[in-house]
Amino acid sequence: MIATGVTAIVLAAVIAASSSQQRAFFGGQKQRATQGNARAALLYLEQKLPLAGWGLDGSLALDFQFYAPGFCPTEMTCPVERDSVSDADELVFYARNPAYWVPAEGQAGALRGNAWTFVALPDATHATLAARAGDDFLRGQILQVVCPGELRYAYFTVKTRTPVTSAGNVDVELEDVVLADPFRRQDVATGMAGCRTFLVDRYRFHVRPVASADGTFDPYLVLDRGLDVAGAADGSPDGAVNEKDEVIVAEGIEAFQVAYVFANPAIAPAGATAGTAIALGEANDDQSVLTDGAIVPTKFSGSATATTKAAYTPSSFYSYRYSDPIRQTKHQANIRAVRIAMVARSPQPDPSAHATFAVDSSFALLNQSGAPDWVTSAPKIANGTDGFQRTRVEAVVNLPNMTVRSITGF
């Protein structure tokens, strides 16, 4: 009887220790998954964000006003705000696609990759390009025409998908001209025949909560490129740019906040003060500050001079030296770094775990103050929390192309 009792005590201790180790193992596994999701999201952003502004004027690199898609998560305010103090932010920027080759000045040779020769504007809604077999111009794609050796450039946006089956001149249908939108200005491309055309990539990062059967939401950090790439039954484009075309960057990204750092160190970063939303100011025609704000967006008047027909010249920062006073303002062209803050959570809750921290009404992340309803409505299952393990990560990503004073024609 004594031996049996001792054995029972030992077995109970072993089982308890084993159970504790098992809980610790699975808890650690969830925490590692959380950290992996955070690293994956941050690594992707650290790879893409430094591209912002490459091959473009710095005043058009970041977008605070032009791109406003009609689709967004129903759990969030629509349209999703670039900056929010109650939910996740958006981050939108542009960069010329670097996958191309062009011959050196004065040398013959065909353009390769994502570069073409601009031929003509047959009418107000078409552009003729010298294309190659296999090229595919997707709905929503932005194209940039640049004339080497002079400050002439124009952007336009593809309206209808145009796959190319054989090499030759191809007419690409374009979205109508909008004078206030710098990426829909094919009207200023008159006289640019023979100039080079490049792809411009759009990056819109935001959080998308996806409803699950238990009433909770699985959050994802997604990338919207503004392109119609999928949606039809066979996986081909379906003629519309919507959530089906978004790319999943990382799972479990519950909070996503962005702040902007200026070249002038005396200016406080925009979007980093808890509970204070980014207020947008207004610029004069020469981009000097008319109305102050946390950020002064580029003023794009849409005007074009009779001599250059360059609607972009008034909004260009090329003529300003870095020592000029205008380069020390809160204008968006003077943003030199982006501060990223995210919260990633485990794929599943753990009823027996003590969560690292709870995202509730007291939650704060940069200027976000409090958690959105789709997060706080999750069932409380563990010690008064929803049981999810969470990890918070932050990083500052420099924007090297925002210090470049030219658009390369090659």
Burial class for 241, CB neighbours closer than 10 Å (0-12, 13-18, 19+): buried
Is residue 356 within 8 A of residue 372, CB to CB? The reply is: no
By DSSP bridging, strand 112-113 and strand 289-291 are unpaired
pLDDT at position 203: 98
- Residue 31 in this model has a pLDDT that exceeds 70: no
Confidence band, pLDDT 50/70/90 cuts, at residue 101: very high
Q: Find the mean pLDDT for residues 293-299.
A: 95
Confidence band, pLDDT 50/70/90 cuts, at residue 309: low
Q: Find the mean pLDDT for residues 3-21.
A: 59
Residues paired with 3 in a beta bridge: none
- Please tell me which residue, 358 or 343, carries the higher pLDDT value: 343
Cβ-based neighbours of 296, under 8 Å, separated by 6 or more: 280, 281, 282, 283, 289, 329, 330, 331, 332
Most confident of 78-87, 185-194, 266-275, 283-292: 266-275
pLDDT at position 231: 85
> In this predicted model, what pLDDT tens digit does every residue of 51-82 receive, in sequence order?
999 999 889 999 999 999 988 888 887 777 89
> In this predicted model, what pLDDT tens digit does every residue of 217-269 receive, in sequence order?
899 999 999 999 998 878 889 889 999 999 999 999 999 999 999 999 999 99
Burial class for 381, CB neighbours closer than 10 Å (0-12, 13-18, 19+): middle
- Strands lying side by side in the sheet with 253-262: 253-262, 335-345, 390-398
Q: How far is 237 from 47, CA to CA, in rounded Å?
A: 27
Portion of the chain with pLDDT greater than 70, in percent: 89
Is residue 395 within 8 A of residue 46, CB to CB? The reply is: yes
> In this predicted model, what pLDDT tens digit does every residue of 321-338 receive, in sequence order?
888 899 999 999 999 999
Three-state SS sequence of the chain: CHHHHHHHHHHHHHHHHHHHHHHHHHHHHHHHHHHHHHHHHHHHHHHHHHHCCCCCCHHHCECCCCCCCCCCCCCCCCCCCCCCCCCCCCEEEEEECCCEECCCCCCCCCCEECEEEEEEEEECCEEEEEECCCCEECCCCEEEEEECCCCEEEEEEECCCEECCCCEEEEEEECCCCCCCCCCCHHHHCCCCCCEEEEEEEEEEEEEEEECCCCCEEEEEEEECCCCCCECCCCCECCCCCHHHCEEEEECEEEEEEEEEECCCCCCCECCCCCCCCCECEECCCCCEEECCCEECCCCCCCCCCCCCCCCHHHCCCCCCCCCHHHHCCEHHHEEEEEEEEEEECCCCCCCCCCCCCCCCCCEECCEECCCHHHHCCCCCECCECCCCEEEEEEEEECHHHHCCCCCCC
Confidence band, pLDDT 50/70/90 cuts, at residue 306: low
Q: How far is 117 from 366, CA to CA, in rounded Å?
A: 45
Confidence band, pLDDT 50/70/90 cuts, at residue 24: very low
Q: Find the mean pLDDT for residues 134-163.
A: 92
pLDDT at position 11: 64
By DSSP bridging, strand 247-251 and strand 217-224 are antiparallel
Question: How far lies 185's CA from each of 129, 142, 176, 273, in Å?
Answer: 16, 11, 8, 37
pLDDT at position 26: 47
Confidence band, pLDDT 50/70/90 cuts, at residue 18: low
The amino acid occupying position 330 is K
pLDDT at position 312: 84
- Please tell me which residue, 324 or 172, carries the higher pLDDT value: 172
Residue 322: count of CB within 10 angstroms of its CB: 11
> In this predicted model, what pLDDT tens digit does every residue of 102-116 receive, in sequence order?
887 767 778 999 999
Most confident of 35-49, 349-363, 372-386: 35-49
Q: Find the mean pLDDT for residues 389-398.
A: 93
Question: Sign (positive/negative) of CA torsion 376, 392, 363, 341?
Answer: negative
Is residue 287 within 8 A of residue 298, CB to CB? The reply is: yes
How high does pLDDT run on average in the chain?
87
- Residue 28 in this model has a pLDDT that exceeds 90: no
pLDDT at position 106: 66
Q: How far is 88 from 368, CA to CA, in rounded Å?
A: 8
Q: How far is 172 from 160, CA to CA, in rounded Å?
A: 7
Portion of the chain with pLDDT greater than 90, in percent: 59
Q: Find the mean pLDDT for residues 207-226.
A: 90
Q: Find the mean pLDDT for residues 285-310.
A: 83
Q: Give CA angle at 61 (60, 63), nearest 5°.
A: 75
